[in-house]
Structure 1
Amino acid sequence: MPFAVASQYFFYFMIYSFLGWVLEGTYNLYSTGAFRKEGFLKGPFKPMYGFAPLLLLLAMNLEVPLPLFLLLTLVIPSTVEYVSGWLLKTLFHKQWWDYSSMSHQLQGHICLRFSMYWWLLATACLYVIQPLLELLYRSVETMWGSVLPAVALFATADLLWTCWTRRRGEKALELSEG
């Protein structure tokens, strides 16, 4: 993948990850009265909201038939959510969301109800939000090349800081229990 395309996809990843943080915060505000909900990362990003649209954009570029593509808008976000939940629970022994009390769920990581929400959101994202993001990218493309290293550094630092503090917290908990 040429650097220019990778740079553009990284832009989309960061924007969608931020929009996911806003979406979850808004949902949390509506459901609990508080905007801030603990997520995996410390910063204002939810990577699974960045990965799902990127995978869907790649599928869209393959020009698969519309019925198959619409199925992918259901399967890909649900798969990303399941894998994210499983990885976070496996690596950090914590479950950030739990659908186990809902019907038609799989190990508490995904459920049919939220998969349908993700399907609607993914479809709207690709056909409404993505064209707007493409316009935004075109308007900031020359500046993005200069800002990209700082954004990548910030995202990497957030990931490393989060992993380090969560591992340190686990070790402290093990010591206090032992």
Structure 2
Amino acid sequence: MVKFAIYTFLGFWMESIYVSIYKKEIYFSGLLKGPFIPLYGFGALIILGIAPFAHNNFDLFFYSMIACTFIEYLTHFFLQYDAQIQIWDYTVFNQRFSNRICMFYSLIWGILGILLVNIIDPFITQCLSIFHPTLLNVAAFFYVMYILYQFYNHHFQH
């Protein structure tokens, strides 16, 4: 739960910075109110879970690309059909499928998977080692509960 919370938070900032640069204005990404995008937390955990099966960075790139593109597709599908929300639209990309996924971002997911496993996660793991595990778990618990509260309010109140 701790790493889910961290990668949900880091994903929010990474995407917000990227979109702010793209739009040339400050923009905070995400559907929910707060510094979190759960898609990145789930994606990171799945990549870390499949990383032991990758024999090299090419495998890791491929597995990350496929897994995260699948998560992206399912997330878009769920948001569009269950909550009638279309949070992203890839109509500007030629290599896309149902405007839910596109080749450009699939390749980005592969690159991020390599960076996550080889650089980011080892650094995060080292940083976490200085904190007491109970403190980390309690903080992560409240963070994730707040995410669920935001999801509940957004999903069921509209």
**When the two structures are superposed, what TM-score results if normalisation uses the length of structure 2?**
0.88
Q: State the aligned residue count.
A: 156
Superposed CA deviations along residues 26-50 of structure 1, whole A, max 9, x for unmatched, are 0121111333345221221111111
Asked whether 1:156 is paired with 2:128, we answer: no
Change (3 A) 1:15 1:107: same
**Structure (1 or 2) with the larger CA radius of gyration:** 1
* SS of alignment partner, residue 50 of structure 1: helix
> Given the alignment of the two structures, is residue 65 of structure 1 paired with residue 55 of structure 2, yes or no?
yes
Give unpaired runs (5+ residues) of structure 1. 1-9, 168-178
Unaligned runs of 5+ in 2: none
Q: CA deviation at 1:130?
A: 0.3
Identity %: 22
1:89 counterpart = 2:68:
no
1:42 to 6, 30, 33: 33
After superposition, the C-alpha distances for 1:93-140 in whole angstroms (9 at most, x for unaligned) are: 121111122111011111111111121112111111000111122222
Alignment counterpart, residue 137 of structure 2, candidates 142, 145, 150? 145
Distance in 1 (CA, whole Å) between partners of 2:60 and 2:5 is 23
Structure 1 residues 74-83 or 37-46, which shifts more? 37-46
| Greater percentage in helix | 1
Could you report, residue by residue, the CA deviation over 1:31-80 in whole angstroms, capped at 9, with x for unpaired residues? 1133334522122111111111101111124x343343331021111111
Report if aligned partners of 1:100, 1:106 keep a CA contact under 8 Å in 2.
no
d(CA) in 1 for partners of 2:123, 2:94: 36
In the alignment, the residues of structure 1 paired with residue 120 and residue 55 of structure 2 have an alpha-carbon distance, to the nearest angstrom, of 21
Taking the aligned partners of 2:24 and 2:2, their CA distance within structure 1 comes to 31
Match of 1:111 among 102, 122, 132: 102
RMSD between aligned alpha carbons? Answer: 1.8
Q: Could you state the TM-score of these two structures normalised by the residue count of structure 1?
A: 0.79
Q: Which residue of 2 aligns with 1:130?
A: 121
Q: Note closer, same or farther for the CA distance 1:84–1:108 as it changes in structure 2 (3 Å cut).
A: same
Contact 2:89 2:100 in 1 (8 A): yes
Alignment match, 1:26: 17
Moved more, 105-114 or 39-48: 39-48
Q: Secondary structure at the match of 2:31?
A: coil
